[in-house]
Amino acid sequence: MKDRFEFILFSFFSKIFCVLGIKQARKAAALLAFLFFYIIPIRKKVVIENLTHAFPEKSNDEIKTLAFNCYKSFSITLIEILTFPIFSEQDILKQLQFIDLDLVKSLYEKDKGLILLTAHFGNWELAAIALGIKLGIPLHIIVKSQRNTLVDNWMNSFRTKWTNKVIPLGISIRQTYKELINKNILALVADQRGPEEGIRVDFFNRPSATYTGPAVLALKTGAPIVMGIVVRQPDYTYRLKFEEISSDDLPGGQEEMVKGITQRHTSLLENYVRMNPEQWFWMHKRWKY
């Protein structure tokens, strides 16, 4: 019953925003941010703690302003997702500028498979859909299932509407590995906190448990790793830039090599977050342990 009620509410706002159109709907972002930051605060304490750890040089007032802007940025992303039903292929593509897309194409053509990393940054959902359409090649996207299966099914219907395919997080490593062996593009978000017993790398000058799956898969299969970060522009378009994560000159030993690759893509993410901190998803305890 709870899931159904949530989905009815979710669908209601989707229909409202679709009727308004994306330009008018985005104007509601400030109101949503105010609601979830001041009236019904959702993970506000976590966001402020994370920002304080990451930017110790900022004053309390600066941190609070940045935190509110994080909520506003996420509200824009949410509104854009809720308006997916009215998007055509051309509507999607005209919102994205692809930087160094030839890098992705050239690495894919090496026929070793390709690991495409991104982060909860800008509108990562829109970027994945747009990239699949632009390449004309399906991305096999590893996604974490939502608690609400109705919302989860709604999201997956748009993730897979054009070219992409979905692999639920938790599927056997053998099946995930198979996608790379079959020379496919494996796409995943790799910026969340890793397991407590896992490898720690430096993130904002603090040791941070980080998932090592991308590094392990790259070393086992020889598939190159590319990170693509999508950055929202002032006019609400996006720049999706790609950079290869080098596997050259790694330290010896399997664990050291895994840690080296993981540190490299984590450091690249940090660079983007420092430039546009309001666009990253700070609502999880990145430094829980």
Neighbours of 94 (CB within 10 A): 11
Strands (E), 59-131: 96-99, 114-118
Kindly indicate the confidence band of residue 240, based on its pLDDT and cuts at 50, 70 and 90: very high
**pLDDT by residue (tens digit) across 82-101?**
999 999 999 999 999 999 99
| pLDDT, mean over the chain | 95
Q: Please state, for a pLDDT cut of 90, what percent of the chain lies above it.
A: 90
Q: What is the pLDDT of residue 175?
A: 77
Q: What is the pLDDT of residue 176?
A: 85
**pLDDT by residue (tens digit) across 52-82?**
999 999 999 999 999 999 999 999 999 999 9
Q: What is the pLDDT of residue 172?
A: 65
* Residue spans per domain, the chain: 2-279
**pLDDT by residue (tens digit) across 107-123?**
999 999 999 999 999 99
Q: What is the pLDDT of residue 146?
A: 87
DSSP 26: G
**pLDDT by residue (tens digit) across 27-53?**
999 999 999 999 999 999 999 999 999
**pLDDT by residue (tens digit) across 145-204?**
888 999 999 999 999 999 999 998 877 677 788 999 999 999 999 898 999 998 999 999
Kindly indicate the confidence band of residue 252, based on its pLDDT and cuts at 50, 70 and 90: confident
**Cα dihedral sign, 161-163-169-175:** positive
**Does residue 229 have a pLDDT over 80?**
yes
Instruction: Give the Cα-Cα-Cα angle 120, 207, 123 (nearest 5 degrees).
Output: 5
SS3 9: helix
Would you give the distance in Å from CA 151 to the centre of its chain? 18
Q: Which residues pair with 97 in a beta bridge?
A: 239
Best CATH choice for the domain 2-279 from the list 3.90.550, 3.40.1130, 2.40.50, 1.10.357: 3.40.1130
The predicted model scores a pTM of: 0.94
